Amino acid sequence: MRIKKLGLLLGPLLFFLILLFVKADFAGKGSTPMLALMALMLTWWILEAVPLAVTALLPLLLFPLFGIMKMDEAGVSYANPVIFLFMGGFMLALGLEKSGLHERIALHIVKITGTKPSGLVLGFLLSSALLSMWISNTATAVMMLPIALSVQQMFRSTDEKIQHSLAAPLMLSIAYGANIGGTMTLIGTPPNIVMAGMLDKMLNYQIGFMEYMVIGFPTGLLLLGFTYLLLIVLFKPRADSQVDVKHLFEQKLLSLGTFSRQEWLVTIVFGITAGLWIFQEPLNSLFGRRLLNDAMIGLMGGMAMFIIPAFWNKYETILRWSDTEKLPWGILLLFGGGLSMAAGLEKTGIVSYVTSAVSAPQEGISFTVAVILIGMVLLLTEVMSNVALITVMLPPIIGITTAMGIEPLAVVIPATIASSMAFSMPISTPPNAIVFASGHIKTGDMMKAGILLNLFAIIVLSLLCLVLL
């Protein structure tokens, strides 16, 4: 609370101090008020003094007042196609959750991986990652936690060490799986959409759904593999005796009943949407023009949830508009605010000034700079919102890498993935907080596993940067 109060006062103070005492016209017309506004937005975003989405609306108000750009120009960023891609993804996720299909998928995966403690850890890790690729990591953790607690209850032991040896890796597998899974698809986590918008806005480069997945999916699998080995080695999960956990999952699956009509329809819509994302380029070639893009496909899939009737007699569709109360509209506004700020930095010449001010690197320095930037993002994401962090960090990263002759994508993509690699603290991500609140894991457990996983993530992302370079 004190930090928020500090931020509420510090933001406007920095804003007026820069306006009064900083002369930044060396960059271009309007650069001084642009710097002042950026300081205000960054302070409020980092310290979360006001809701992130409210801060994101400031360009609409202040850009016209200071002559940076007109309101309709500033508003263009809030209608960027990648925002509608994410909106469509959110709607697909809502349909998946409402139909209950996500729970059926998770139960089948955990059932398949076996009833041994090590198999259960693998099952929860993979289930959390798979779901988080398509629905929010928070929803994934909320859904997976009760299932894990049921399993933990079946394996209850009088020996606290044995009890803890299974409880800790089970809880961490949910949090870490949810965090990593979101990085594996373009719509899996908000920072990925921020990245896509920034690349489009600043570099005029459109990264496709499959183009990103070719990078994100194998990187995520590598991180998941290490996470599983780490949890098994660190905690050595064991139980007093073999409990028929398979029976538990069979009972839970039975309670879900047979595949409902809603689940079949969601599966079909989801399958068609994924198929169009995967095969959009061959289809565009077939039609002889760019008929489809990622945003259109995502929006079509999301809209289908409101159009296709699950029951014709009642005319009841998969989703109702009231279901969108769960849709994180604030995140969509945050994307727009970040893109608008980037547009302001570009128009006032600040990005060009930073680019020209950074000298060309000596041979062998490029990779070192890239690793430092990736490591900085990964360190900061432990203490601040990953969406706010990547919104703040990407413009300077793009400017610095461009100036130093480094391929921007080679740093931007690993840095964006790094923003979701918060494993060490309960406050770092919602999944971390959710599993910590279960009472079955200690802060020391999370830090012990999280720090090692963070170090491995830096190595993997640095190698990814090297491959992309």
pLDDT in tens, 398-425: 888 887 778 888 899 999 999 988 888 7
| pLDDT-above-90 percentage for the chain | 16
Helix or strand holding residue 180 (H, E): helix 160-181
Helix or strand holding residue 316 (H, E): strand 316-317
Report the pLDDT averaged over residues 90-104. 81
Task: Among 129-143, 248-262, 347-361, name the most confident range.
Answer: 129-143
137 vs 462, residue with greater confidence:
462
Q: What is the pLDDT of residues 375-385, one digit of tens each?
A: 888 888 876 77
**Which residue type does 281 have?**
E
Dihedral over alpha carbons 415, 417, 423, 425 (to 10 degrees): 60
Q: What is the pLDDT of residues 333-349, one digit of tens each?
A: 877 887 888 788 778 87
Q: What is the pLDDT of residues 242-286, one digit of tens each?
A: 555 666 667 777 777 788 888 899 889 988 888 888 788 788 888
Task: Among 57-61, 163-167, 315-319, name the most confident range.
Answer: 57-61
Q: Which residues contact 363 (CB under 8 A, 6 or more apart)?
A: none
Report the pLDDT averaged over residues 164-174. 85
**Residue 301: CB atoms within 10 Å:** 22
Half-sphere exposure of 448 (CA within 13 A, CB side): 13
pLDDT at 177 over 70: yes
Report the pLDDT averaged over residues 89-110. 79
Give dist(CA 336, CA 79) in Å, integer.
7
pLDDT band at 363 (very low <50, low <70, confident <90, very high): very low
pLDDT number for residue 158: 58
The pTM is what? 0.76
What's the sign of the alpha-carbon dihedral 80, 85, 88, 94? negative
**The tokens of 378 are what?**
């990964």
Dihedral over alpha carbons 292, 293, 295, 299 (to 10 degrees): 20
Give dist(CA 99, CA 267) in Å, integer.
10
In this structure, are residues 30 and 326 in contact, taking their beta carbons and an 8 Å threshold? Answer: no
User: Over the range 439-462, which residues count as b (16 or more CB within 10 Å of their CB) and which as e?
Assistant: ebbeeebbebbbebbbebbbebbb
Q: Where are the beta strands (DSSP E) in 209-361?
A: 309-311, 316-317
**Residue 290: CB atoms within 10 Å:** 10
